[in-house]
Structure 1
Amino acid sequence: MTAVIPPQFSGRELSNPPTDGISNLRFSNHSDHLLVSSWDKTVRLYDAGTNVLRGEFMHGGAVLDCCFHDDSSGFSASADNTVRRLVFNYEKEDILGRHDAHVRCVEYSYAAGQVITGSWDKTLKCWDPRGASGQERTLIGTYLQPERVYSLSLVGNRLVVATAGRHVNVYDLRNMSQPEQRRESSLKYQTRCVRCYPNGTGYALSSVEGRVAMEFFDSSEASQAKKYAFKCHRKSEAGRDIVYPVNAIAFHPVYGTFATGGCDGFINIWDGNNKKRLYQYSKYPSSIAALSFSRDGSLLAVASSYTYEEGDKPHEPDAIFVRSVNEIEVKPKPKPYPNPPA
């Protein structure tokens, strides 16, 4: 992997950040609006371009995930077991449905027009957000999982579900009766994050043990031969390796390269096709809890937020940074042509 790039400016810090750990942040697909969920029981809506807090929604428990529907509404997943619909212009919310334990993940599928949630009750649920409030009228289906759901990712009609116990289920949203594929993570330790490739051919998976696996949906021998895993977010100190969890993965929407964020406070940019690190940003004040590129890839939102991997201890205040992304940081470098024969 390449050498470390000299430190760069960390980006503009947003005003009015959450007062407790940041669980996730997401850019809108339509604007520079940024949705942020937090353990302080809030979801906040920012205009990242103007550094303005546009709305705040209070929940009955820690908010573990959030996502946009469009620029007028979004959804949240809470530790109070609820899935909520947020209406931004009116700063109103209603309960879309419930799980029997903490709701860990929420995604909106534009392909299916459904909200998908994953919970620590070991279920996946699909909801119709157009229906009236009430679980019976909006719940499309409940799908048992082998363990607690830790992370979800969508690309087109394909849904990847990563659970405890290193299980990975791949679904086709057009037929949810059973997984299209049942897999086991190729990493030996607990999964932290899964994100699908923008081109729809596979997914990246990260673990608590400083590794990322690059996987492919095509089960053919030729395609499976291309999968690999690599070490990252670790350092050597006094002759021993110190390994950090990889909490976040975010793919660049234009170039298909991707960023990883770890508990070491660093963000790395990777070219997965050429198996190279393109860039490393200067260290942030705390763990990188979440990452999101804007719709055109010109901005990267960074949650610098202690994730309690070392227990309850004094730490830097939680913060959100929005940094401008230069093409040189994220664009794959062309492979050099071999020297012509003499």
Structure 2
Amino acid sequence: MSASLHELLSPPTDAISSVAFSPHTPNHLIASSWDTTVRLYDINKASFGPSPSENPERVKFTHAAPVLDACWGDSNNDVFSGGLDWQVKQLNPETTIERVLGTHSAPAKSIAWNPEHKTLITGSWDKTAHLYDPRLATPLTHTLPQPHKIFSLSTISHTLVIAHASRSVYIYDLRYPIAPHQQRESSLKFMTRTVSCMPSGAGYASSSVEGRVAVEFFDPSTEFQARKYAFKCHRQVVDGVDIVYPVNALSFHPVYGTFASGGGDGVVSLWDGIAKRRLRQYPRLPASVNSLSFNREGRYLAVAVSSGFEDGREEEPSGENTKIYIRELAEGEGRGKAQQQQQTK
């Protein structure tokens, strides 16, 4: 493997559902897993260098069932998680205190923190999204009914994007979250795997089980909607047959606005969504890529791999080949075409 790719010690013992770098500290990473845990890692040279000498795991929390997603809150002492036990938890890594914020009536599939509104958003297979204010004694502030099971959600500024089964997408303004202000049908023809908002707040990318990514914009004007597009990726030709893999993970670079995709083929690619081109494709990893996260500086990319996510099914994945890799990006790696041109001037 490349010297810039490091395998993290002490990964979860079963399939990894999500990884997320802290927006507050560039070297803090959380991972949620089907082994029922949420683990916090401190990423440093001693923990992932050529000869790791330090265990990066700092804290471990446990749910009663597999954890499907986790995110950071307003500080490094605020982590939220949800999963197959239906519970939404607030976790404090410093004190190890846990608090149950609320409960869905089915698994909590996707979870995100909106810093502008100090709001935790959870999406469930019970066809609801919950909005929580953890500062309140009764934190649940809104329940948003949805037409189908929620597969993924993402938020930026005042906007919330919720992707459902049946390929519908609801877009909310969190200043008035009672009803969606846009209802769309996904540009992708097959089941959505994930959705991720652009750091600029202009739009979002989504991916499907059928090896495609779509780039869309919030502005409903004809001009902006004419700019949306979708493209094929994460495909391989084997013995003359085109094998198509699900695109399980998307993560935007926080500095350059380009994005990484991870697929069931074990491949991570970097894309320039504005120039509509692939910037880089990294060597294949030993199992399906099921989650990605850039750190806040864009220097590190966490890559979670596990067997069992190759076909995009909802059934329990295998814990085989469960690993977390940290890719250390070179200076300027991930820079888009326009930024490369500015750099050379």
TM over 0.5: yes
Verify: 1:57 aligned to 2:61, yes or no.
yes
After TM superposition, the structure 1 = structure 2 runs for residues 86-235 of structure 1, keeping only pairs within 5 Å, are 86-132=91-137, 137-235=138-236
Partner residue in 1 for 2:50 = none
Which amino acid in the other structure matches residue 39 of structure 1? W
Aligned residues: 327
Aligned to 1:15: 9
Give distance in 2, aligned partners of 1:96 and 1:312: 26
User: How many Å apart are 1:43 and its aligned residue?
Assistant: 0.2
Three-state SS of the structure 2 residue aligned to 1:129 is: coil
Distance in structure 2 (CA, Å) of the matches to 1:143 and 1:157: 16
Instruction: Identify which range, 324-333 or 299-308, moves more after superposition.
Output: 324-333
The equivalent residue for 1:83 is 88
Partner Cα separation in structure 2 for residue 115 and residue 152 of structure 1: 12
2:77 to 72, 77, 80: 72
Does residue 39 of structure 1 match 2:34?
Answer: yes
Please tell me the root mean square deviation across aligned C-alpha atoms, in Å. 1.8
Conservation of the 8 A alpha-carbon contact between 1:289 and 1:307: no
Q: How far is 1:239 from its partner? A: 2.3
Following TM superposition, by how much is the alpha carbon of 1:14 offset from its aligned partner in structure 2, in angstroms? Answer: 1.2
- Secondary structure of the corresponding residue to residue 29 of structure 2: strand
CA distance, structure 2, for counterparts of residue 256 and residue 173 of structure 1: 23
TM-score (norm: length of structure 1): 0.92
* Identity value in percent: 49
Contact persistence 2:288–2:310 (CA under 8 A): no
Task: Say if 2:127 and 2:150, in contact at 8 Å, map to a contact too.
Answer: yes
Q: For residue 327 of structure 1, give the secondary structure of its aligned residue in structure 2.
A: coil
Q: Secondary structure at the match of 1:88?
A: coil
Structure 2 partner of 1:28: 22
Q: Secondary structure at the match of 1:291?
A: strand
C-alpha distance after superposition, 1:266-322 (max 9, x if no partner):
000001111110001111111101000000100000101123446889884200011
Q: Which residue of 2 aligns with 1:317?
A: 321
* C-alpha contact (below 8 Å) 2:15/2:319 kept by paired residues: no
Is structure 2 residue 253 aligned with structure 1 residue 269?
no
1:186 to partner: Cα distance: 0.8
Equivalent residue number for residue 4 of structure 1: none
* Worse-superposed segment, 304-313 or 258-267: 304-313
Distance 1:308 1:29, change over 3 A: closer
1:89-130, Cα deviation, whole Å (9 max, x unpaired): 122212110000000011111111111100000000101101
2:333 aligns with 329
- Structure 2 letter corresponding to 1:68: W
Counterpart contact for 2:14–2:318, Cα < 8 Å:
no
CA distances 1:33-65 after superposition (whole Å, capped 9, x unpaired): 001000000000000125311100011010000
Cα separation, partners in 2 of 1:336 and 1:36, compared to 1, 3 Å: closer
CA distance in 1, matches of 2:143, 2:107: 15
Which residue identity is paired with 2:23?
A: N
- Where does residue 289 of structure 2 map in the other structure? 288
SS at match of 1:261: strand
Distance 1:74 1:313, change over 3 A: closer
SS for the counterpart of 1:30 is coil
Contact 1:27 1:292 in 2 (8 A): yes
Per the normalisation by structure 2, the TM-score is 0.91
Q: 1:206 to 1:314 in 2, by over 3 A?
A: closer
Tell me, in whole angstroms, the C-alpha distance in 1 between the residues paired with 2:319 and 2:60. 25
- Say whether the 8 Å CA contact 2:264–2:309 is kept in structure 1: no
- Within 1, Cα distance between the matches of 2:123 and 2:83? 11
- 1:298/1:326 contact within 8 Å kept: yes
Contact 1:285 1:316 in 2 (8 A): no
* 3-state DSSP of counterpart to 1:329: coil
Structure 1, 172-181 or 43-52: larger mean CA deviation: 43-52
Moved over 6 A (4+): 311-315
Distance 1:162 1:315 in 2: 26
**SS at structure 1 position matched to 2:18:** strand
User: Match for 1:48 among 26, 43, 46?
Assistant: 43
Pair 1:257 & 2:252 matched? no
